[in-house]
Structure 1
Amino acid sequence: MSTHHERGRQTVLVVDDVARNLTLISHILRPHYTVKAATCGEQALHLAVVVRPDLILLDVDMPGMDGYAVCRRLKADAATRDIPVIFLTAMTGPLEETAGFDAGAVDYISKPVLAEIMLSRVKAHLTVGVMAGMYRDKASFLEREVARRTEQIARVQEVTLLITSSLAEARDNETGTHILRTQHYVKCLAEHLRAHPRFADQLTGETIEAIFKSAPLHDIGKVGIPDRILLLPGRLSHREMEIMKTHTTIGRDAIERAEQRLGYSMPFLRVAKEMAYCHHERWDGSGYPQGLAGDAIPIAARLMALADVYDALISKRVYKPAMSHDDATLIILAGRGQQFDPDVVDAFEAVQVEFRDISMRFADSQQDFDEELLRLDWVAESP
């Protein structure tokens, strides 16, 4: 649609190097349309961008840049490619018509021009152009609306995950910001490892996003652990420890039930199950609940295993002081090939400064956690 209509009338750009042709065609069209004129290809290309006509009548046989070349240039430019072009020519053989349609024209009008035929053809193509413009506008609106709704759903999902997982953390000795820190730790590790030959096929952009979204659910199973064990400040007995270990299975089963009620599988729920169930497995096979070893442990769980231990080491709890980043780093490095995947430890060593920055950004503070929820929760007020 033109952006420069006079009194709401549609605009036709006429391009012809012969002045009398421009005069004749303008005389035919002006009672019905706003007419703009160009006498060469370069001028036509300039006016097409500036005026944004609803239709272009383009002479084929012009000196310099002929009509075919002008039409191809118009169709190659995003600003003008949707403007319909009708060729004006005395040559209307099959070869000329084929060349014109290949260049992007929608029709031909033969010279000498007959007023009734020209008005009929112009009116028909302008009507089609209006309808096409309406469909383009509607499609563009729907595309934007789908994108907006998709973003809303994603934000609601993030808020729901944070709130749900914070309920589990609220019963533990850990803080809500533990969720945010571990979430960003695993993403940091995953993004560093995505170029590694071992992980290139597994750590795609979609998988990393699923890992980031599902990370807050890694300890959701703690909701099923009795307070007398979960909140015990001292060392757990063997029996108490065995009960504590069941939070991995409880978490997996809870997510699985939610998935069944949903009726279909989602990537982030599949990753969430793996992370909840396997983040206490160890590289050497001495972990729980299954005693998995090496690559049998899902990659998301291997990332979370390191992130979870690092955050536990640097965090102050009622039963222990916080450890420095440097001391925690030494412990992580010592676990290479035993507790942790060697390549994941190498990645941690490479990005440890980013880990420290994340730990400072999401320092233990309920206010920080509340602010993160507010950042995400804007969507709740959207229509």
Structure 2
Amino acid sequence: MVSKILIVDDSSTDRLIISGMLYDYDIVTACDGREAMQLIAKDPHIDLMILDLNMPIMNGFEVLNEIKRNPAYKEIRTIILTNSDEVDNEVKGLKLGAVDYIRKPLNIESLRIRIDIHLRLKDAQRKMEQDNERLDAMVAKKTRELVATRDITIHALVGLLEVRNVESSNHTIRTKKIMRVLCRHLQKKEAYRDILTDEYINELVTTTPLHDIGKVGIPDRILLKPDRLTDEEYTIMKKHVVYGVQALKDEIHDEKDIPSFIKTAIEIAGSHHEKFDGTGYPLGLSGESIPLPGRLMAIIDVYDALMSKRVYKPAYDSSRTIQYITEQSGKHFDPAIVQGFLEVKDEIIAISLEHIQEELLEEAY
């Protein structure tokens, strides 16, 4: 496609000379800045403009300012024409966005060479942008595929727990919703603003269902026991944390290559039974040495367990559950997270009540 060049000069002689020299391009001309802007408004897809700075009606600087202000004109490259003693004007024009300058009286051969160079550069830039757009589209497609694969894998793993009647699908849905509500609230606080980015919150919510994935390795006689566990059985049950971490790390040969969401899932599975005072398991971590995903999951998991009916206990009501959460601040739970949890407790309780009602209806039918 032939490039389009706009020549803007109040000298009809200069316009004629330059037009003749550029016979193989698509040429349009204007005798002043105002006419130039009218032409550009009608056709903003001009490749290059040769612009005289000294014109009686809307000078070249005003034209450059107008082009700079309008994003639709950003593709126009401008070569300014100045007199030999106008060094300050050359600098000013370049600062306003011109890509080059040539002095009058015109050196036609030099002007032709510069025009050809800038048009080739623009063509190369256009091709690079097109290549980048294609690459971005490919990356976006691959990213969508990876996210879909990740989500399918997570759902499949969690499905193993649901098939064994370890957890209900409602537990998975509730804990994900609560994780999102809690993280979004904490994100507003200065202490978490830089940590809980939108991307990280999405990882936390997505990997929340994997917190108990290690329970697939626990024998049914313990996992499904309709009564409280003995000390020996509880010792075996606690191994689900280690099993979960091992399952998530199984195909990773170099820990430096662990994908971010897998790292988050490992932290959730491996540390959600740690306690803030150091009395939890499996490592007896305390305070902020417990990874943030584990500290978040600890309060969410305990809350949902208390609010839910189990084979060995009835469901707690919301008041009793919130009282327990409050009492365990600084003991089982991170006090800062407890504070955030209590600030959005009404929204969290609403999530629980919605799904409890659904479960009751399911049982009725």
TM-score calculated relative to the size of structure 1: 0.79
**Percent sequence identity over matched residues?**
37
The answer on 1:36 being equivalent to 2:25 is: no
The aligned counterpart of 2:322 is: 329
**C-alpha distance in 2, partners of 1:334/1:36?**
80
Give CA deviations for 1:250-269 in whole Å, capped at 9, x if unaligned: 11222233333676233333
CA contact (8 A) 1:259 1:269 kept: no
How does 1:226-265 map onto structure 2 within 5 Å? 226-260=219-253, 264-265=257-258
Q: 1:345 to 1:93 in 2, by over 3 A?
A: closer
SS of residue paired to 1:283: coil
Of residues 212, 220, 226, the one that matches 1:219 is 212
The aligned counterpart of 1:302 is: 295
**C-alpha distance in 1, partners of 2:60/2:344?**
59
The aligned counterpart of 1:192 is: 185
Of residues 164, 167, 170, the one that matches 1:171 is 164
Between 224-233 and 356-365, the greater mean CA deviation after superposition: 356-365
How does 1:76-87 map onto structure 2 within 5 Å? 77-87=70-80
**Cα drift, residue 133 of structure 1:** 1.3
**Cα drift, residue 199 of structure 1:** 4.2
**Cα drift, residue 196 of structure 1:** 3.9
**C-alpha distance in 2, partners of 1:300/1:10?**
57
**C-alpha distance in 2, partners of 1:180/1:83?**
53
SS of residue paired to 2:338: helix
Q: 1:187 to 1:259 in 2, by over 3 A?
A: farther
Aligned-partner residue type, residue 162 of structure 1: H
- Structure 1 residue runs of 5 or longer lacking an equivalent are 1-7, 367-383
Q: 1:138 to 1:290 in 2, by over 3 A?
A: closer
Give CA deviations for 1:192-212 in whole Å, capped at 9, x if unaligned: 223445545654555434423
SS of residue paired to 1:259: coil
Aligned-partner residue type, residue 29 of structure 2: A
Between 295-304 and 221-230, the greater mean CA deviation after superposition: 295-304
Aligned-partner residue type, residue 36 of structure 1: V
CA contact (8 A) 1:166 1:179 kept: no
CA contact (8 A) 2:179 2:204 kept: yes
- Structure 2 residue runs of 5 or longer lacking an equivalent are 360-365
**C-alpha distance in 2, partners of 1:186/1:302?**
11
SS of residue paired to 1:178: helix
Q: 1:155 to 1:272 in 2, by over 3 A?
A: same
CA contact (8 A) 1:85 1:107 kept: yes
**C-alpha distance in 2, partners of 1:117/1:283?**
75
SS of residue paired to 1:260: coil
Between 39-48 and 244-253, the greater mean CA deviation after superposition: 39-48
CA contact (8 A) 1:187 1:212 kept: yes
How does 1:94-243 map onto structure 2 within 5 Å? 97-112=90-105, 121-196=114-189, 198-199=191-192, 202-243=195-236
The aligned counterpart of 1:350 is: 343
SS of residue paired to 2:7: strand
The answer on 1:268 being equivalent to 2:247 is: no
The aligned counterpart of 1:292 is: 285
**C-alpha distance in 1, partners of 2:269/2:131?**
44
**C-alpha distance in 2, partners of 1:110/1:355?**
72
Q: 1:163 to 1:354 in 2, by over 3 A?
A: farther
**C-alpha distance in 1, partners of 2:191/2:109?**
71
**Cα drift, residue 184 of structure 1:** 2.9
The answer on 1:12 being equivalent to 2:5 is: yes
Give CA deviations for 1:98-147 in whole Å, capped at 9, x if unaligned: 55444433344454557666555444433332222112221222223323
CA contact (8 A) 1:175 1:364 kept: no
SS of residue paired to 2:76: coil
Q: 1:64 to 1:273 in 2, by over 3 A?
A: same
CA contact (8 A) 1:174 1:317 kept: no
Between 94-103 and 264-273, the greater mean CA deviation after superposition: 94-103
Structure possessing the higher relative contact order (Cα contacts under 8 Å, 6 or more residues apart): 1
SS of residue paired to 1:86: strand
Of residues 308, 314, 320, the one that matches 1:315 is 308
**C-alpha distance in 2, partners of 1:185/1:193?**
12
Cα-Cα RMSD: 3.3
**C-alpha distance in 1, partners of 2:203/2:69?**
38
**Cα drift, residue 236 of structure 1:** 1.8
**C-alpha distance in 1, partners of 2:35/2:106?**
23
